[in-house]
Structure 1
């Protein structure tokens, strides 16, 4: 089932890991945690570039949801039926810091979409998404690094 992922990462290395991270932040299957584990198992000494590649890719994928939220608000301001009421409530209550949880399955995408809908500032949004994802990937990779 994951043979295609292992082949891509094995053949393309860090760029393949970047693509896996990017796809994992969308509704497409990317399995970035498995791809990261595979790379770190093969080359644990490359842990810094591996973590950077997968984190940047995954962050960019989440930012696509953020931009989609901004687009929806701009071109269809009454389209709140496309948004998770829970994600909107969390974003309104706690603000941009909530994006530290953007790595969570399903709710993470909804949080990024809600952040775009609420037109949160771009730089803090990207920073908190990146930070949350970096911490997650560091924890995933820790057994291979130590």
Structure 2
């Protein structure tokens, strides 16, 4: 099972970055395999959930880091936002927008939100906690959905 867990981690990580990917299909396959065999389903499903959630959250942390790195270019003429606009946006996003990170699991907008959180200088542990919660709920829902179809 170690190879399957590493594969799930890699897929979950990659699908959280700006690269295309979908870890839910592989996760669903592992859930079905776990339920079909004589494993202890609860403990293995928990490990599957944990591997997918951590991998996907760390992939989002890479997006966050890229957003923070993007700020190194803010003094360049081509940078799309003025310093004043950026400061105002960062203040607003830190005050009101941080809760949108709970939606980081959503296709397309989730990747953009995690990149934006880096640009908006959300404190890393606030970012990480909210993204972890959102991603954890998403994978728990997928596992429950797949396991529910079997029983």
TM-score category, normalised to shorter length: 0.7 to 0.9
Partner of 1:59: 57
Partner of 1:39: 30
Structure 1, gaps ≥5 residues long: 1-9, 82-87
Partner of 1:29: 20
1:68 CA drift (Å): 0.6
Of residues 61-70 and 20-29 in structure 1, the stretch that sits farther from structure 2 once superposed is 20-29
* Rg larger for: 2
Q: Distance in 1 between matches of 2:22 and 2:7?
A: 12
Partner of 1:143: 145
Scaled by the length of structure 2, the TM-score of the pair is 0.77
Q: Distance in 1 between matches of 2:62 and 2:31?
A: 27
1:120 CA drift (Å): 0.8
Q: Judging changes above 3 Å, is the alpha-carbon distance between structure 1 residues 98 and 27 closer, same or farther for their aligned structure 2 residues? A: same
Q: Judging changes above 3 Å, is the alpha-carbon distance between structure 1 residues 111 and 80 closer, same or farther for their aligned structure 2 residues? A: farther
**Greater than 3 Å deviation, 4+ residue runs:** 88-93
Root-mean-square deviation (CA, aligned residues, Å) is 2.2
Partner of 1:114: 116
Whether the aligned pair in 2 keeps the contact of 1:91 and 1:111 (CA below 8 Å) is no
Q: Which has the bigger relative contact order, CA under 8 A and spacing at least 6?
A: 2
Q: Judging changes above 3 Å, is the alpha-carbon distance between structure 1 residues 59 and 29 closer, same or farther for their aligned structure 2 residues? A: same
Whether the aligned pair in 1 keeps the contact of 2:18 and 2:63 (CA below 8 Å) is no
Q: Give the aligned length.
A: 130
Scaled by the length of structure 1, the TM-score of the pair is 0.79
Whether the aligned pair in 2 keeps the contact of 1:17 and 1:36 (CA below 8 Å) is yes
